[in-house]
C-alpha cells in the first residue's frame, strides 16, 4: 500500500516537473524548414513635420569627442517622412526558420557616439563592444530582463564581449559621457528588421499565416497591426507613428 502511494507520489512529482518544463518552454521558439515562405515589405513613417536634429553639447574629452559635431540620434526622420532605426518584429511567431545567433555584433564607441546607434539581433547573440576612441568609456545598460552590464572600458581595452540571452529592448548609456545613448534590441525569433534611413524594412521567409506585427521606436513607442502573409507572396505594411 505504502509502495503504491509512493509510486503515485513519484508519478505526481514527474507530472508536476513536466508541467514546469512545459510552462518554462511556453515562449520557446521552434526552428525548422519553412514551406512557401512569404515576405513582408513595409515602411515606418512619421506623422508630422520631421523634427530637426539636435546638436549635442560636448562637455568632456573635447579633443576626441568634439572633433566633429554630434547629433541626437534618438529620432531620425528623413525628408520623405521615413523613420530610421525602428525595429519591426513578429513577436508571437512561435515556429519558422531556425534562429541564427550572431557572434560579435559590432557596437562601437567612436567619436564619443555609439556606432551604430541601434543594433538588433536574436536573443542569445553576442555583442562585441569596441572602443575605437582610445579614451575611457563606461558602458551601462538599463536592462530589466537581462543582467545589467556596467563596465568601464579604458582606451587600451579594445573589445568587451557580452551575450544578451533574453528578448528585451535595452537602453545603453556611458557613465563617462552623459550624451552617449544607444540601444540593443534582442528579438525573440529570427523575424525582425531595422528600418533604413527612409523607414523601409523587409522580413523574409515567413511561414504563411496571420500575425501581429509590431514596430518599436525608442522615442515614439510601440504600434501593432495585423498582417496576412500569403504563401510565397508579399504583404505590404505601413506604420504611421505619431509624436508623443
Q: In the bound complex, what is the minimum distance in angstroms from residue 136's beta carbon to Cu ion?
A: 7
**For residues 39 and 202, is the Cβ–Cβ distance under 8 A?**
yes
Helix (H) or strand (E) holding 235: strand 234-241
Q: How many helices (DSSP H) and strands (DSSP E) are in the chain?
A: 2, 18
Residue closer to Cu ion (CB basis): 129 or 176: 176
Nearer to Cu ion by C-beta: 117 or 137? 137
- Taking CB under 5 A as the binding criterion, the range among 116-124, 177-185, 193-201, 203-211 that sits at the site for Cu ion is 177-185
Supply the minimum distance, in Å, between the C-beta of residue 216 and Cu ion: 25
Residue 177 is a binding residue for Cu ion (CB under 5 A): yes
Q: Are 100 and 144 in contact (CB under 8 A)?
A: no
| Per CB under 5 A, 117 contacts Cu ion | no
Quick check: helix, strand or coil at residue 81? coil
Distance between CA 126 and CA 134 in Å, rounded? 23
172 contributes a contact to Cu ion by CB under 5 A: no
Could you tell me the smallest distance in angstroms from the CB atom of residue 67 to Cu ion?
14
- Would you give the DSSP letter of residue 157? -
Query: Which range binds Cu ion by CB under 5 A, 170-178, 205-213, 217-225, 231-239?
Result: 170-178
Using CA atoms, how far apart are residues 42 and 215, in angstroms rounded to an integer?
11
Helix (H) or strand (E) holding 12: helix 2-24
Site of grid cell 568632456:
60
| Binding flags for Cu ion, 182-211, as an x/- string (CB under 5 A) | ------------------------------
State the nearest-atom distance from the C-beta of 61 to Cu ion, in Å: 8
The pattern of x and - marking residues 130 through 159 that bind Cu ion according to CB under 5 A reads -------x----------------------
Amino acid at each position: 500500500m505504502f509502495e503504491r502511494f509512493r509510486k503515485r507520489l513519484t508519478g505526481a512529482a514527474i507530472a508536476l516537473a513536466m508541467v514546469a518544463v512545459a510552462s518554462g518552454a511556453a515562449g520557446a521558439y521552434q526552428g525548422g524548414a519553412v514551406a512557401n515562405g512569404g515576405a513582408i515589405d513595409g515602411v515606418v513613417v512619421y506623422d508630422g513635420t520631421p523634427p530637426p536634429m539636435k546638436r549635442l553639447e560636448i562637455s568632456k574629452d573635447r579633443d576626441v569627442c568634439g572633433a566633429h559635431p554630434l547629433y541626437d540620434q534618438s529620432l531620425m526622420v528623413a525628408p520623405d517622412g521615413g523613420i530610421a532605426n525602428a525595429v519591426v518584429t513578429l513577436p508571437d511567431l512561435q515556429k519558422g526558420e531556425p534562429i541564427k545567433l550572431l557572434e560579435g555584433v559590432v557596437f562601437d564607441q567612436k567619436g564619443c557616439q555609439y556606432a551604430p546607434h541601434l543594433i538588433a539581433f536574436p536573443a542569445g547573440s553576442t555583442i562585441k563592444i569596441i572602443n575605437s576612441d582610445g579614451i575611457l568609456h563606461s558602458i551601462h545598460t538599463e536592462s530589466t530582463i537581462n543582467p545589467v552590464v556596467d563596465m568601464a572600458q579604458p582606451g587600451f581595452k579594445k573589445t568587451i564581449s557580452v551575450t544578451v540571452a533574453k528578448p528585451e529592448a535595452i537602453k545603453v548609456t556611458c557613465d563617462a559621457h552623459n550624451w552617449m545613448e544607444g540601444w540593443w534590441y534582442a528579438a525573440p525569433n529570427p523575424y525582425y528588421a531595422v528600418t533604413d534611413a527612409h523607414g523601409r524594412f523587409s522580413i523574409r521567409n515567413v511561414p504563411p499565416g496571420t500575425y501581429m506585427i509590431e514596430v518599436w521606436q525608442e522615442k515614439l513607442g510601440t504600434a501593432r497591426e495585423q498582417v496576412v502573409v500569403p504563401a510565397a507572396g508579399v504583404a505590404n505594411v505601413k506604420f504611421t507613428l505619431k509624436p508623443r
